Structure 1
Amino acid sequence: MVKAIRIQQTGGPEVMEYVDVELGAPGPGEVLVRQKACGLNFIDVYFRTGLYPQALPGGLGMEGAGIVEAVGPDVKYVQVGDRVAYAGRPNGAYAEARIMPADNLVRLPDSISFETAAAMMLQGLTVQYLFHRTFPLQGGETILFHAAAGGVGLIACQWARAIGVTMIGTVGSDEKAELAKAHGCAHVINYNTENFVQRVREITDGKGVPVVYDSIGKDTFIPSLDCLAPLGMMVSFGNASGPVPEFGLGELASRGSLFITRPSLMSYAAKRDDLEQMAAHLFSMVESGKVKIDIRQRYSLSEVARAHHELEARKTTGSSILIP
């Protein structure tokens, strides 16, 4: 029996139950991972509230790190005793241990701690595909990235600086602005005191940016389109303020034949070769010191309701983890 978080229905943080779960033995292609740390991400809120559907009753959490304790038949890539990390579905990372598909796991270098790995896999792999596959940055671009002081944002600040990209970041407070600047964000806009569309136009001498990376959703979507240069790309990869409102395709045409995409990590990492290459790139950025994972909140697994309250109230900055 292990402790894990389960939900019987969708709703507020109170629907999460800290319960005993019997794991059994891993089946074909599966492994049992004893987890040392679990990641906490805003996408977990989407599944808890039902914005993103899943079968119920179910678990929560999409990333973690630990040690392989048992393997089922026909397992590839990992073996008992391996240090491993993962990000992506199926949900269930909020647990002391779990049985999961071995194909989702990557071996973790000895130089990267379990806590760092649990804090960086989902967010770091997200930045990797956003910057190198969704809109491949070559260096020299000026980009707009919302929520620059969040977990994904602070990684993006450092990654952009490392590859020679000028990042304009938005935040919700002066404190978060200082945090983003400290992590390499070239220009920081407090959207509660400044008009970010106007500031982006000023910074770019009226040209706009070639790409906007937006995890906020409803509150920033339409203004973000106004920040794009003609033929620019809107990358909508989250809904922190709520789902993007309906809009007509004419909105894209009238602003200069814009492009739009709604990517997800699960699609970009669906092929094993892609997952391994993305993870290797992330590990190299962290091992080189170009990207440092800033863990600013640690909660015990039993404190998950408080963690979700603080996450939704935007009281967290950087990365957050749960400790089983």
Structure 2
Amino acid sequence: MTKRESFLGASATSQIIIGHYGNASALTEIEATLPPPGAGEIRVRHTAIGVNFVDIYHRTGLYRLPSLPAVLGVEAAGVVEALGPDVDTVRVGQRIAYAGPPAGSYASARNLRADRAIPLPDDVPDDAVASLLLRGITTHMLFAYVHPLKAGDTVLVHAAAGGLGLVLVQWAKSLGACVIGTVSSPAKAQLAIDHGLDHAIHYRDEDFVAAVMRLTDGQGVDYAIDGIGGKTLLDTLGSVRPYGMVASVGQVAADDSGPLDLSLLGPARSVALSRPGVFRFMTDLVRYREGAMATIRQLQAGLRPTIGAVLPLSEAAEAHRRLESGQTVGTLLLRP
């Protein structure tokens, strides 16, 4: 029996599923059996699983999943355990990572389309890539497609000490930008500054729009990236220079700004607003792999992952509670 043949049977896996939309208590751990991978598929045994805010959107039903019950999670790293028919792009035993739909990474193992697997070089650890591959692809989309960032640009990043924020800060600095970030505490300000942030604004203590205008001599930033939504997004429109860009990439805020009055964009302000979706971006395999490789190159060049905590897979609900509380620093991982 060959090594490949020895892995072709069914395999046990632990999974975190939701049977209905709701709060963190909707997460349930079950034991399941994976069938052999089908044509064009691989089976990957996870070593590290990323936790993202989109997982919460899926859990609550803000972003509906195709059907329920469903396994949550859209990002992980692991080792290829089995190959389905007609797969020759990876090999059994190879380290890989992936990000994006379909959901299903909250599991000790899963079957996955082989074309979503990104082979990992030896100098990129599993935990590092699992903590920020989706965020890295998002950052690549934002800085290469939505508003091509260039040296000398000024960028505003909300939640600069969060999982996405720390990636945005470091990546923008690598491109020669000046980065202003909002934070909720002195400790988070120091963390973001340690990762390259030029100016930290304590949004609980001062009006961030006024602070941005002070820091930019009344001009506003070239580009603002907001994952908060609600009133924060509306206020952010006033922090951008004429003909600048605001990218709305999330809606953590419970309040909803409702339909947007176009007069908030212009003609007086003359700013652009984009609502880019990284899942839509990754439907193109060329863009997906391009973003993944850009992230790996950034890691190899010194991008530092900040992993706030590593919890057992069985404690996925606790990971969600921590992320929703707004008290997390950096990213959270689940360990199968």
Where does residue 286 of structure 1 map in the other structure?
Answer: 299
Q: Distance in 2 between matches of 1:255 and 1:168?
A: 24
Partner SS for 1:100: strand
RMSD: 1.3
Where does residue 271 of structure 1 map in the other structure?
Answer: 284
Where does residue 114 of structure 2 map in the other structure?
Answer: 102
Q: Distance in 1 between matches of 2:73 and 2:257?
A: 23
Matched, 1:11 2:7: no
| Counterpart pick for 1:298 among 310, 314, 317 | 310
Matches within 5 A, 1:13-162: 13-54=24-65, 55-75=67-87, 77-162=89-174
8 Å Cα contact 2:42/2:80 also seen in 1: yes
| Counterpart pick for 1:311 among 311, 320, 323 | 323
User: Structure 2 unaligned runs (5+)?
Assistant: 1-11
Where does residue 191 of structure 2 map in the other structure?
Answer: 179
1:266 deviation in Å? 1.8
1:247 deviation in Å? 1.4
Q: Distance in 1 between matches of 2:118 and 2:258?
A: 37
User: For each residue in 1:87-135, what CA deviation from the matched residue of structure 2 results, as whole angstroms up to 9, or x when unmatched?
Assistant: 1001111100001111211111111111111101111111121112211
Q: Distance in 2 between matches of 1:209 and 1:59?
A: 40
Q: Distance in 2 between matches of 1:307 and 1:271?
A: 30
Matched, 1:259 2:272: yes
Partner SS for 1:175: helix
| Amino acid in the other structure paired with 2:204 | N
| Change in 2 beyond 3 A, CA 1:260/1:285 | same
Partner SS for 2:231: coil
Where does residue 261 of structure 2 map in the other structure?
Answer: 248
| Amino acid in the other structure paired with 2:201 | I
Partner SS for 1:180: helix
User: Structure 1 unaligned runs (5+)?
Assistant: none
Q: 15-24 or 75-84: which moved more?
A: 75-84
TM-score scaled by structure 2?
Answer: 0.93
Q: Distance in 2 between matches of 1:102 and 1:284?
A: 21
8 Å Cα contact 1:66/1:85 also seen in 2: yes
1:270 deviation in Å? 2.2
| Amino acid in the other structure paired with 1:32 | R
8 Å Cα contact 1:197/1:224 also seen in 2: yes
Where does residue 194 of structure 1 map in the other structure?
Answer: 206
1:323 deviation in Å? 0.3
Q: Distance in 2 between matches of 1:260 and 1:279?
A: 25
1:277 deviation in Å? 2.0
8 Å Cα contact 1:119/1:321 also seen in 2: yes
Partner SS for 1:226: helix
Where does residue 206 of structure 1 map in the other structure?
Answer: 218
Where does residue 246 of structure 2 map in the other structure?
Answer: 234
1:65 deviation in Å? 0.3
1:61 deviation in Å? 0.7
| Change in 2 beyond 3 A, CA 1:87/1:280 | same
User: For each residue in 1:136-168, what CA deviation from the matched residue of structure 2 results, as whole angstroms up to 9, or x when unmatched?
Assistant: 101101111111000111111111222110001
Q: Distance in 1 between matches of 2:121 and 2:268?
A: 46
| Change in 2 beyond 3 A, CA 1:244/1:44 | farther
8 Å Cα contact 1:26/1:99 also seen in 2: yes
TM-score scaled by structure 1?
Answer: 0.96
1:244 deviation in Å? 4.4
Q: Distance in 1 between matches of 2:268 and 2:108?
A: 50
